[in-house]
C-alpha cells in the first residue's frame, strides 16, 4: 500500500478507536445509524443533481429525485412545515440562504451576540456579514442565559430590523419567538430561527416549536441533536418558499451532496419513529448531569432555572484554570468537550474562555441514561475539582464506555464505530 494512503488509513482507524473508547460530549456532534452510514458511502456521493426535483440540469437523476422527494415529504411530516428545502450543505450555508431570501445588503439584522451564545453566522464574521447586513444585538439576561424579552421588544420597535434572528451555539432555554412575532409585522420584519442545536429536540417535541410560535424560516444542521449526516435543511412558510429555493439554488448552493440527502431521509424516518423518546431522554440526561455536576461543586450555569431545557450544559471554570486548560485535561482522560465563551468573556480572546459546554445527544444515542450521567459527573469532578491525573481517570472512562457501542433510537442497532479496515 502507498505510504501516504496507509498514513490516512491509520489515522482514520486511530480516530475510530479514540471515539470508541471516549465519552463524546461536543454539543454539535452526533453519531448516525449504520444504515445512514452505508448510504453516505454509496455511489450517490459521486453524482450531481443541480436544480429541483423533476427539473434537473443533468441526466441520470431519476432515483436521486425519488430520494430527495422522500426526504422533503418526511421533513414536512416531522416538522409540520409548509415548505422544506433539504439542499443546504451546512448550517452556515442555510443561514446565508435565509438571509439572502429575506434581506438586501445594508438591511438591519438583530441577533444574539457571540459571547452571549450567538453563532458566528449571525454576526459580521460569517453569513450575516457576507450578505452585507448591518447587525445589532439582542438585550441579554446573563443570569437566565436568555434574550430579555421585554427589552428585546422595545429595541425591535426602536431600531426596526428587517430580520430578527433566534438560535444560539450555547442554547439552554427556548427563545422569545412569540414575543418578537407580536411586534415583527409592525416594523416589517421577518423572523429566522436557527435551530442548529435543537433541531432534534424540536423534532421530538421537547423544545419550542418555532414555526408555530411565529418564525417565518427555521434553519438547522442535521447532525447535532438531530442524529443525521452532515448537512442542513430549511423549513419555512409558503409565502417565502420561492425566495428560499432561489436563494439556495442557484444562489448559495450548486450540487448538494446527494449521499447526505439519502442519509437524511433515513434519519428523518428514524426520528418520526423514535424521536420523541430520544429527545425526552436527551433532556433528562442533560438535567441529571447538570444537577450532578452542580452537587459535585462545579459552577453550573442557571441553577435557578433548572440548569437547562435542552441537551446542553455550561459551567464556568474560570477559577479552575480556564476553559482551555480544563478542556485539554478532560480530553487526556478521553472526555471530549469544548471550551466555550460565556457572556462575561472578551470576544476578542476566544482562545481561553471561562466556560465548558457539554451535550448529551451522542451519549443518549449510545444508550446511556440517568445512572451513567451521575457516573460521568463524578469522572469530570475527579479531573476538574480533585485535580486527579487524567491518565488515571481515562481507564475508568474506557471501562464505562465498553458497554455502550451500539446506536439506539434507529432501525438497526449495529456498532457505532466499527468499520471494515482492510489492507
Instruction: Judge whether residue 413 has pLDDT over 80.
Output: no
Instruction: Judge whether residue 418 has pLDDT over 70.
Output: no
Closest CA to 412 of 291, 240, 266: 266
**DSSP letter assigned to residue 266:** H
Per the model's pLDDT, the better-predicted residue between 50 and 416 turns out to be 50
pLDDT per residue over 94-103, tens digit each?
999 999 999 9
pLDDT per residue over 226-266, tens digit each?
999 999 999 999 999 999 999 999 999 999 999 999 999 99
Interatomic CA distance for residues 289 and 370, integer angstroms: 8
Using the structure block, give the residue that is written with the C-alpha cell 450567538. 118
Closest CA to 350 of 28, 118, 128: 118
Q: What angle do CA 385, 390, 396 make, to 5 degrees?
A: 100
Q: Looking at the domain 36-268, which fold is it?
A: 3.40.640
pLDDT per residue over 354-398, tens digit each?
999 999 999 999 999 999 999 999 999 999 999 999 999 999 999
Return phi, psi of residue 118, to 5°.
-65, 155
Amino acid at each position: 500500500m502507498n505510504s501516504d494512503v496507509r498514513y490516512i488509513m491509520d489515522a482514520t482507524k486511530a480516530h475510530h478507536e479514540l471515539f470508541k473508547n471516549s465519552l463524546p460530549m461536543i454539543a454539535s456532534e452526533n453519531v448516525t445509524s449504520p444504515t445512514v452510514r452505508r448510504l453516505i458511502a454509496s455511489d450517490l456521493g459521486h453524482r450531481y443533481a443541480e436544480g429541483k426535483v423533476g427539473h434537473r440540469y443533468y441526466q441520470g437523476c431519476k432515483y436521486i429525485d425519488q430520494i430527495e422527494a422522500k426526504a422533503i415529504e418526511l421533513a414536512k411530516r416531522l416538522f409540520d412545515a409548509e415548505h422544506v428545502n433539504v439542499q443546504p450543505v451546512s448550517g452556515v450555508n442555510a443561514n446565508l440562504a435565509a438571509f439572502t431570501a429575506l434581506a438586501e445588503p445594508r438591511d438591519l439584522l438583530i441577533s444574539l451576540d457571540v459571547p452571549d451564545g450567538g453563532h458566528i453566522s449571525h454576526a459580521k464574521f460569517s453569513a450575516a456579514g457576507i450578505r452585507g447586513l448591518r447587525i445589532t444585538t439582542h438585550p441579554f439576561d446573563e443570569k437566565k442565559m436568555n434574550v430579555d424579552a421585554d427589552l428585546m421588544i422595545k429595541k425591535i420597535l426602536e431600531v426596526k430590523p428587517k430580520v430578527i434572528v433566534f438560535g444560539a451555539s450555547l442554547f439552554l432555554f427556548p427563545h422569545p419567538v412569540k414575543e418578537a412575532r407580536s411586534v415583527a409585522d409592525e416594523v416589517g420584519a421577518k423572523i429566522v430561527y436557527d435551530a442548529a442545536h435543537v433541531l432534534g429536540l424540536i423534532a421530538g417535541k421537547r423544545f419550542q416549536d418555532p414555526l408555530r410560535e411565529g418564525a417565518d424560516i427555521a434553519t438547522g444542521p442535521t447532525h447535532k441533536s438531530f442524529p443525521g449526516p452532515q448537512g442542513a435543511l430549511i423549513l419555512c412558510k409558503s409565502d417565502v418558499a420561492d425566495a428560499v429555493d432561489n436563494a439556495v439554488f442557484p444562489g448559495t448552493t450548486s450540487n448538494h451532496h446527494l449521499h447526505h440527502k439519502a442519509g437524511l431521509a433515513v434519519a428523518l424516518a428514524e426520528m418520526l419513529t423514535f424521536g420523541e423518546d430520544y429527545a425526552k431522554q436527551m433532556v433528562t440526561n442533560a438535567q441529571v448531569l447538570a444537577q450532578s455536576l452542580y452537587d459535585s461543586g462545579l459552577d453550573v450555569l442557571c441553577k435557578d432555572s433548572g440548569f437547562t431545557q435542552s441537551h446542553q450544559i455550561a459551567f464556568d471554570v474560570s477559577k479552575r484554570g480556564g476553559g482551555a486548560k480544563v478542556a485539554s485535561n478532560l480530553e487526556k482522560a478521553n472526555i471530549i468537550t469544548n471550551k466555550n465563551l460565556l457572556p462575561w468573556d472578551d470576544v476578542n480572546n476566544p482562545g481561553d474562555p471561562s466556560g465548558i459546554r457539554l451535550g448529551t445527544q451522542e451519549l443518549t444515542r449510545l444508550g446511556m441514561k440517568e445512572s451513567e450521567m451521575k457516573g460521568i459527573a463524578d469522572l469530570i469532578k475527579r479531573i476538574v475539582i480533585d485535580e486527579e491525573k487524567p491518565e488515571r481517570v481515562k481507564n475508568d472512562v474506557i471501562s464505562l464506555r465498553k458497554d455502550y457501542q451500539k446506536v439506539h433510537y434507529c432501525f438497526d442497532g449495529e456498532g457505532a464505530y466499527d468499520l471494515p479496515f482492510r489492507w
